[in-house]
């Protein structure tokens, strides 16, 4: 009998853990496993705020795929997925090549959602890939250098505007405020010339999160000099100029800023829509076993998927935590189907949420208990290092882990 082809799209949190689990669960003769990813490395999306601010070397956040998977069991293809033809069971790559599948797993992650706000896509930077965060770091450094070479009279060179105070915005702000003193020293910029401005549409940072923890984060950021413009949404961006104001009102203000970073939300990969799936913001409401409705051999996980939270009757937020748990379920389900068994239902078990505020501080809820400060920071590092354990690469904790 022909060995089934399992094709995994994306080597992020969901895709890579699916591949590692399938390589462990299936015997060599059971199936051909192919993993397709844009780059020959995996990056920890959850760490990207650090290299963006320049507080971590980008290399620490990446691991080469062939150092994780067993190349004799998982064929790695470096390529960009353009579209999936579900009727023909084929994956089309941008270079024109075609990969046939019997089972496909979508783990292509998300892209920044700009809600059609004029100029945002063109003139703001995002924390979305290793390359995008390298650009942010270098742009900030170059802007600090320009402040001096342009006569030290134009503060916009050292003004950084961050749009959005969700977890990505808050974690980035937590890193950049700690880097400012070093940047000022290195580029001979007076601290009082620097402005870090956060524009958040909701009345608080981290809307919807525990109010005590939200207040802690907000006060921490304000103490570090972040100007908070809460209750204000970004309405437009031109090169070096941000227009903002209450989203429901007509009034607007502008800020001149050489660095504009957008962290206002994510949607799923555009490959979802291109492949003909019904979705909201490119997130497919998956069946109980993580399959796409009406597609017996298509699994969708991570930021491309939506799983309903019965408690809130809204989809769970897209996180690495849920992508990882879905990956375990999908690997198990594909192995079951290959072995003629039925699939099992996915149940998400939230272990909590922890966010960093720089290297030594943070906030979080773990097992229903609130944590702050150094305890939260320690817990965040434990969680970050746990990813290497999930990948079954214990040595990486010492080599790339956070301490």
Catalytic positions, written as ranges: 171
Residue number with CB closer to ligand NAD (190 or 246): 246
Whole-number minimum distance, CB 317 to ligand NAD, in Å? 3
| Residues whose CB falls within 8 Å of the CB of residue 101, separated by 6 or more in sequence, listed in order | 5, 6, 7, 34, 89, 90, 91, 297
Work out which of 56, 74, 120, 127 binds ligand FAD, going by CB under 6 A. Answer: 127
Q: Which stretch binds ligand FAD (CB under 6 A): 45-53, 194-202, 206-214, 215-223?
A: 45-53
Work out which of 8, 15, 61, 177 binds ligand FAD, going by CB under 6 A. Answer: 15
Whole-number minimum distance, CB 4 to ligand NAD, in Å? 33
From the list ligand FAD, ligand NAD, none, which binds 13 (C-beta under 5 to 8 Å, kind-based)?
A: ligand FAD
For residue 166, state whether it binds ligand FAD (rule: CB under 6 A). Answer: no
Residue number with CB closer to ligand FAD (195 or 386): 386
Residue nearest to ligand FAD (CB): 12
From the list ligand NAD, ligand FAD, none, which binds 169 (C-beta under 5 to 8 Å, kind-based)?
A: ligand NAD
Q: Which stretch binds ligand FAD (CB under 6 A): 33-41, 55-63, 209-217, 241-249?
A: 33-41
Whole-number minimum distance, CB 37 to ligand NAD, in Å? 20
Residue number with CB closer to ligand NAD (63 or 228): 228
Length in residues, the chain: 403
Query: Distance between CA 112 and CA 91 in Å, rounded?
Result: 24
Residue number with CB closer to ligand NAD (208 or 276): 208
Query: Distance between CA 283 and CA 279 in Å, rounded?
Result: 5
For residue 401, state whether it binds ligand FAD (rule: CB under 6 A). Answer: no
Residue number with CB closer to ligand NAD (93 or 379): 379
For residue 343, state whether it binds ligand FAD (rule: CB under 6 A). Answer: no
Q: Given its phi and psi angles, is residue 92 left (phi above 0), alpha (psi -120 to 50 degrees) or beta?
A: beta
H/E stretch holding 284 reads strand 284-285
Kindly compute the dihedral angle of the four CA atoms of residues 378, 383, 384, 385, in this order, to the nearest 10 degrees. Answer: 90
Contact 43, 24 (CB under 8 A): no
H/E stretch holding 395 reads helix 395-400
Count of alpha carbons within 13 angstroms of residue 215, beta-carbon side: 4
For residue 329, state whether it binds ligand FAD (rule: CB under 6 A). Answer: no
Residue number with CB closer to ligand FAD (145 or 308): 308
In terms of DSSP H, where are the helices of 101-226?
120-123, 130-149, 167-187, 211-223
Work out which of 49, 137, 229, 291 binds ligand FAD, going by CB under 6 A. Answer: 49
Count of alpha carbons within 13 angstroms of residue 112, beta-carbon side: 22
Residue with tokens 């580029």: 187
| Residues whose CB falls within 8 Å of the CB of residue 337, separated by 6 or more in sequence, listed in order | 103, 343
Residues interacting with ligand NAD, by CB under 6 A? 117, 163-169, 171, 199-202, 207, 233-234, 263-266, 317-319, 353, 355
Query: Distance between CA 346 and CA 329 in Å, rounded?
Result: 6
For residue 34, state whether it binds ligand FAD (rule: CB under 6 A). Answer: no
Instruction: Report the DSSP beta bridge partners of residue 83.
Output: 92
């Amino acid at each position: 009998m022909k060995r089934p082809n399992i094709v995994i799209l994306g080597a992020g949190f969901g895709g890579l853990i699916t591949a590692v689990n399938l390589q462990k669960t299936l015997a060599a003769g059971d199936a051909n496993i192919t993993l397709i990813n844009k780059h020959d490395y995996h990056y920890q999306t959850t760490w990207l705020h650090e290299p963006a601010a320049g507080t971590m070397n980008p290399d620490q956040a990446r691991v080469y795929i062939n150092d994780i998977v067993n190349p004799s069991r998982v064929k790695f293809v470096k390529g960009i997925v353009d579209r999936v033809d579900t009727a023909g069971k084929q994956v089309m790559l941008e270079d024109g090549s075609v990969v046939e599948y019997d089972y496909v797993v979508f783990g292509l992650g998300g892209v920044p959602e700009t809600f059609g706000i004029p100029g945002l896509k063109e003139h703001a930077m995002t924390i979305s890939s290793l390359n995008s965060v390298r650009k942010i770091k270098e742009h900030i450094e170059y802007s600090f250098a320009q402040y001096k070479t342009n006569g030290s009279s134009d503060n916009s060179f050292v003004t950084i505007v961050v749009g959005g105070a969700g977890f990505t915005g808050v974690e980035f702000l937590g890193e950049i405020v700690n880097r400012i003193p070093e940047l000022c020293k290195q580029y001979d910029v007076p601290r009082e010339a620097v402005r870090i401005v956060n524009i958040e549409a909701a009345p608080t940072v981290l809307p919807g999160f525990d109010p005590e923890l939200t207040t802690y984060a907000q006060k921490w950021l304000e103490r570090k000099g972040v100007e908070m413009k809460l209750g204000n949404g970004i309405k437009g961006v031109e090169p070096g100029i941000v227009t903002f104001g209450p989203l429901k009102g007509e009034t607007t203000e502008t800020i001149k800023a050489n660095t504009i970073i957008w962290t206002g939300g994510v949607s799923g990969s555009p490959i979802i829509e291109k492949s003909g799936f019904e979705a909201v913001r490119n997130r497919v409401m998956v069946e109980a076993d993580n399959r796409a409705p009406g597609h017996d051999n298509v699994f969708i996980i991570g930021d491309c998927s939506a799983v309903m939270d019965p408690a809130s009757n809204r989809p769970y937020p897209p996180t690495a935590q849920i992508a990882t748990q879905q990956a375990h379920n999908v690997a198990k389900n594909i192995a079951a189907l290959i072995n003629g068994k039925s699939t099992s239902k996915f149940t998400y078990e939230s272990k909590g949420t922890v966010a960093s505020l720089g290297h030594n501080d943070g906030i979080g809820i773990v097992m229903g208990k609130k944590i702050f400060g150094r305890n939260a920071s320690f817990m965040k590092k434990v969680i970050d290092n746990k990813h290497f354990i999930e990948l079954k690469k214990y040595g990486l904790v010492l080599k790339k882990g956070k301490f």
